[in-house]
Each structure stands twice: as structure tokens, then as C-alpha cells.
Structure 1
Amino acid sequence: MKINNQKLLLLLLSICFLTFVNAQKKANISKTPPMGWNSWNWYGKHNINEKEVKKVIDFMVENGLKDAGYNYVIIDGGWRDTKLGNNGELLTHPVKFPNGIKPLADYAHAKGMKLGVHVVPGTHDCGGDLVGGYGHEEVHVKQFVDWGLDFIKLDKCRFVDKDCNECPKAKNGGWDEAVVEASYKKWSRLLKECGRDIVFSISAYEYRDWYPEVCNMARTTFDIRAKIHSGGADFVKPTKFKKAHLSVMEIAEENNKVAKFAGNGYWNDPDMLITGIQGLSRKEQTSHFGLWCIMSAPLMLGNNLGHMDKFEKNLILNKEMIAVNQDPTEQGKIIKREDKTQVWAKKLKNGDVALLFLNLDDTKQRDISINLKDLNITSKVKARNIVDHKDLGIFKNTISMTAKTHECKMVVISNI
């Protein structure tokens, strides 16, 4: 009996040790929210190819994006062939990616960048191609390791019959919720055990309470409305349909609900950034980027890098805003709502607090204020506008900002 108890104790200790090691590995891979660029919002499924991917890598290296922290390039849908190989392996598109993925990963690594791809855990991708990983997970993970990948976006898409006859009518893409959980947990285990550090990004369109233990980042909503979608991006206008592409503020509101779960190597993902010529005004783009920064969201650009103007480039390279985003202390959240305005706050590791004053009014300028006591601050503070890089002086008791329609004022306050 004593021997059996000793064996049981050793088994339990081994399990605890492995759990600790896996948790530490996950936290080390994504100590801060990942930053990079994803092909989907601009190129979609049909316009991405290996030549464009190399151009993106070169641009990010040569124009300061890599140095600012944007070091992941993610090839979303469009890189695969329309079916799997004879052994269930993933095949690259013979025309758009004739040389395969490994040469692109090698190219990225030689430039100090990292590469990732979009894959699906079910039977079909979201366009109906029979390329899903269900039943082939081990084969696919081995391919990722052999290719030298650094990031996997696992998009739920479809789980239906082979010919996709059920695709148009399948509820929840044909998925049973228990199968969703089991499938993603299997992928998580295989990636943790694969011997390579790979960021695991889940795209399953809503938050689930098992995400923080399973992955490094996970989508909390349906897709953001971007250039690729009819009508382009929108800042605040609600969608007509529950499962349609969402506006910036619809997504921010949903992501705010799960703020407390972020941290320790897991980050809530409110989808890609839609800066540039995708439908938002300059003020809205600044508010959008500011929201993603204060929410500690992964900063995945979804824009046309080669056509950025000076405004857009300066925005996404704003060091002070990025510093707030990369501070791992917590995910910022809404602390005040009043008369079509919001105040968001995020505590920073040095004791400072980042604040975002947001005007959601479609027509009028608004004065927005917060009482320092609501932030548990009783002393005077100095404030700095981190959008415009200007010191604002000393404040006591209350901080007030004036914001134009859909504009934000983002400041960092420090005790003095």
C-alpha cells in the first residue's frame, strides 16, 4: 500500500510539474500581446500569393514596423490547395504558393521576422474547401514544425459532411460545442508538445472560459467589418444581423466584457486592425487604434502596407500607444459611461494609469471627465497626451478632456 501511495504521489507531482511547465511555456511565448500583420482584410482568399508575402516582410523590415514590435506575418486563407494530400497532409496552392511554406518561413527568419498560417480544425475551410484538420491533427502539426512556423491561427469554420451539402444550413457551422472544446484542446496539447514555440491563436467567434489555459490569444467576437466586406469598415453603426461583420464599437463592447481573463500569456483578440483606406475617418482610426492598445489586444494589422499615408504610418508606429498595449499588467476596461461618452482605464506596471476619453456622439463635440478618486488616486497627477506626444500639465481631483465626434483623447497619468 505504501509503495502504491508513493507511486500515486509521484504521478501527481509529475502532472503538476508538466502543467506548470506548459503554463510557463505559454506565458513565455506571449508575455505581451502579439503584434504583426494578417493578409485577410486586404487580400482575402484569392489575391494573396508568395510574392506578396515576401513584399510584406520586406516592407515591415525596411519601414520600421519590425523594430516597433510588428514581427509576425500571418498568411490567412488562400495559401492552401482545395483538398488535402493522400495522407491527410496540407498542400499549398500550386499557382499562388508553388514553392511551399518553408521557403517563406526561412525568408522571414532571415529578416528577423516570424511566419504563421491560417488553418481549420473541422472538415472544411470557411469557403467550403475540404482542407480541415479533423482526424489529421498530428500530421498537420508535424508539417508546421518541419516548415518552421511560429504562429497558427485555428479558425473554427465548418464541421459538416464531406461534400459540404450541409454548409448553407448548418447551425454553428455544424459544430457541437463539446466537439469544439475537445478539438481545440487537442490542438493545444499537440502544439505544446511539438518541440517548437508556436503562438496558438483561436478564432471561434466568442469567448469561452477554457481559452486562457489552452491558447495564447483568442477571438471574442465575430469578424470586424473591413475593406474586404461590402460597405467597408464602420466605427459605431450597429449591424443589422446578429452574426454579421461588426463595427469597431460593437467589438470593443464585447471584448470589454471579458477583460478580467486577459494576462499571463493569454490575450483577448478583438480581431484585426482596420486602419487606412477601409472606411474609417482619421479620428476614428485613432480611436480604433487607441481602443485596441488600451484593451491589451493583439495588434494585428489588416491594412495595405504599401499604400499607407504619413498619418496611418505615424499612428501604427506610435511608441507611446504601443507601450500601453504591450504593458502586461491588465486589459483596460470601461470605467465610466455618460451621455454618449466613455472613459477607459488601464493600470500600468510602473504605477501609471492610461486613460482613453471617447466621444461616441455622431454630431456633437463632448466634454468628458473622470474623478481621480474613481481611480483610487488622492494626490495630484501629471498627464501626457500620448497620441500627440504633449505634456498636459498638473491635474487635481478631476481630469477633463474635450473630444470631437468619434474622437478619443488618450493620456497617461502619473502621481507627483
Structure 2
Amino acid sequence: MFMAFVSEVFVLENGLARTPPMGWMSWGYYMCNGVSVAGAFFKEGYLEAGYEYIIIDDCWSEKERDYNGRLLHIRGLKFGIYTNIGHVTCEYYPGSKNYFQKDAETFSEWGVDYVKVDGSSWKTIRDIMRHFESEYDTLHKYHGPGHWNDPDMLIYGQCSPSPQQSRSHISFYAMLSAPLLLSCDMRKVLHYERKLMLNLNLIAAAQDPLGIMARPYKNPIKGDIYPSFSFLLLNPEKNNTIVSFTPSEYGLNFTDGYTVMNVFTGRTLQNITLKEELKVIVRKDGK
């Protein structure tokens, strides 16, 4: 997997979530068992890199609503929170179906800053990637500053995917301008995972203020009217492959050409003209 910088959404005008949210979520590792992670965020530099939300996932409420239909808030949480569009959550707590307005009002009264709404390893991650590719025309219209399509959590730490798969995982999310929500034991994050999560070049692509969801050409790409673009070359198959592209194939038109930088190493690969071909060996999915 290789990612490089190559030097119509609806906007919700309330000033909130102008770039994709970044933070930590409890479910992927702890499920219903909460733990404090704030210390790691301060000590390891995650907060400075932009990971500012700590979100409690399922199992935070009582099992039943009160007599007014309101969810019962038993832990004094005042940050990020989770709900589900169905009748029940994954662990059979109350979902928000038929209660969207009341739950929104309840979360607002509590001062909740972030609400994750669910629609219900490596194969699952790959399925998510393919879903966003096949449904781009439907999804991109509802994606942008103030409202972000969420492909779910980044699973790092113990029992995480391989290094290559982890790099593919976070890079794809960055190109989607998706929320980067870590879900792991922060005490067991591996060195290469921490480098990925704190890669400021990668975060810069993920946090582009334009909030563009990358269009799935032959290779996903996103950029703007200025001569700076991001390419993601992703190989989910079983063998290494050579991928080539020229800037003009994707509508890039800066006549002075482009400088190509590897986001993961920070090194400049080469300068390239509009008609010049760049070839890259893209490794298989991490096996």
C-alpha cells in the first residue's frame, strides 16, 4: 500500500465538526468495560495531533427507558456517546428508532459533543472499503464539513491487523475524510501503530478543511483547485502489483508539474510532469 501527496457537498452552517472528528472510542477493545485513556492522550501526543474526543460506545445507559421515553444517563458522561438507528444496540440496550428527536434533545441537554450512530479484522475492513467504493455516488453527497460518513473505528493495539493492513486501514479513512476514531488499549499500542496515528502528513490529508471524500478512480484521489492532491494506491489482493499513473489521467492540470512525496516516509520521490508516468510497487494486503 502506498500513499502520496501530489504537491458537491452540503454544508451545515453551525460551526461544528468542520473537519472529520478524531479521538478514541471504547467499543473495539473494551466493549462494555470502560477505562481511562486520557493520560495516554496527554503523555503520548495524541491530543496535539488532533485526537480530541473520548467516546463511550454501547452499554452506557440503563436497559430500559424511563416513563417519558427518555434514556437514563447513569455515568455522568459529558463528551462523546453512541446510539443505534435500530430498536436495540449490539448489546441489546435501547436503540433510537422512533426516538430520534427525544434522544437528540437528551444528548443536547447533557452537553454531549459527539454522537456516533451505528447502522446495525481485516475482511470486515476490506468490505467497508469496497462498500464506500461501490456506493460513492450515493454517499459523497452527504459528506462534508459538519456531517461525516463514518466507516467505523480504527482497530489498533492488541490483536490488530498486520502492519501493511493497518497502514491501508488508516490511509483509506484519511482519503475518505472520515472520522479517525481509535479503539484500542492505549497502553498496548505498538510502535508502528503510534507512528501511523501520529503521522502529521497523513493527518493533514485527513483533516483537509474542504472535507472532500476521495473519488474512487482507478486509484482514490482527492484535491482541490490548487495544485496539491493526495493519491491512495491500495492493493487488497493476494499478490504484489505494479501501479502506474500520470497526473493528467485524473484531471490534474498544473503546467509546472508536481513534486511527489511519500506520506509515510516524508521523502520526495521525484518531480513529475502532467504527461509523465509514475510507477509504484504496491504490496499485497499484508500477508
Residue of structure 2 equivalent to 1:148: 111
Aligned residues: 267
Quick one: structure 1 residues 135 and 335, their matched pair in 2 at CA, closer, same or farther if it must change by over 3 Å? closer
Q: Structure 1: which amino acid aligns with 2:261?
A: R
Q: Does 1:391 align with 2:272?
A: no
The percent of aligned pairs where both chains have the same amino acid is 27
The one-character-per-residue Cα deviations of 1:39-85 (angstroms, maximum 9, x if unpaired) are 1111113x22xxx1xx2123223321111111111111111122223
Residue of structure 2 equivalent to 1:88: 69
SS at match of 1:389: coil
Q: Does 1:375 align with 2:250?
A: yes
Shift of 1:141: 4.2
Shift of 1:138: 5.9
SS at match of 2:155: coil
- Stretch of structure 1 that moved more, 372-381 or 306-315: 372-381
Shift of 1:334: 2.1
Residue of structure 2 equivalent to 1:212: none
The one-character-per-residue Cα deviations of 1:9-56 (angstroms, maximum 9, x if unpaired) are xxxxxxxxxxxxx9311xx212111111111111113x22xxx1xx21
Shift of 1:265: 2.5
Q: Paired residue for 2:231, among 355, 370, 377?
A: 355
Q: How does 1:5-404 map to 2 (within 5 A)?
A: 23-25=12-14, 28-45=15-32, 47-48=33-34, 52=35, 55-92=36-73, 100-101=75-76, 104-105=77-78, 115-120=79-84, 123-129=87-93, 131-133=94-96, 140-153=103-116, 202-204=117-119, 233-234=121-122, 237=123, 247-256=124-133, 257-258=135-136, 260-261=140-141, 262-329=143-210, 330-336=212-218, 343-348=219-224, 350-362=226-238, 364-377=239-252, 379=255, 380-396=257-273, 397-404=276-283
Measure, in 2, the Cα distance between the counterparts of 1:122 and 1:253.
Answer: 24
8 A Cα contact 2:60 2:73, kept in partner? yes
How large is the RMSD of aligned CA atoms in angstroms?
Answer: 2.4
Measure, in 1, the Cα distance between the counterparts of 2:59 and 2:130.
Answer: 31
Measure, in 1, the Cα distance between the counterparts of 2:43 and 2:109.
Answer: 28
8 A Cα contact 2:24 2:53, kept in partner? yes
Measure, in 2, the Cα distance between the counterparts of 1:348 and 1:295.
Answer: 14
Name the one with the larger helix percent.
Answer: 1
8 A Cα contact 1:255 1:268, kept in partner? no
SS at match of 1:73: strand
Quick one: structure 1 residues 88 and 353, their matched pair in 2 at CA, closer, same or farther if it must change by over 3 Å? same
SS at match of 1:24: coil
Q: TM-score, normalised by structure 1?
A: 0.59
Q: TM-score, normalised by structure 2?
A: 0.83
8 A Cα contact 2:156 2:183, kept in partner? yes
8 A Cα contact 1:272 1:300, kept in partner? yes
8 A Cα contact 1:32 1:327, kept in partner? yes
Measure, in 2, the Cα distance between the counterparts of 1:142 and 1:345.
Answer: 38
Shift of 1:386: 0.7
Q: Structure 1: which amino acid aligns with 2:202?
A: M
Measure, in 1, the Cα distance between the counterparts of 2:73 and 2:145.
Answer: 35
Q: Structure 1 regions of 5+ residues with no counterpart?
A: 1-21, 94-99, 106-114, 154-201, 206-232, 238-246, 337-342, 408-416
Shift of 1:126: 3.2
Quick one: structure 1 residues 345 and 138, their matched pair in 2 at CA, closer, same or farther if it must change by over 3 Å? closer
Measure, in 2, the Cα distance between the counterparts of 1:335 and 1:134.
Answer: 36
Shift of 1:328: 3.7
Quick one: structure 1 residues 334 and 142, their matched pair in 2 at CA, closer, same or farther if it must change by over 3 Å? closer
Largest Rg, 1 or 2? 1
Measure, in 2, the Cα distance between the counterparts of 1:331 and 1:137.
Answer: 26
Residue of structure 2 equivalent to 1:222: none
Measure, in 2, the Cα distance between the counterparts of 1:367 and 1:133.
Answer: 47
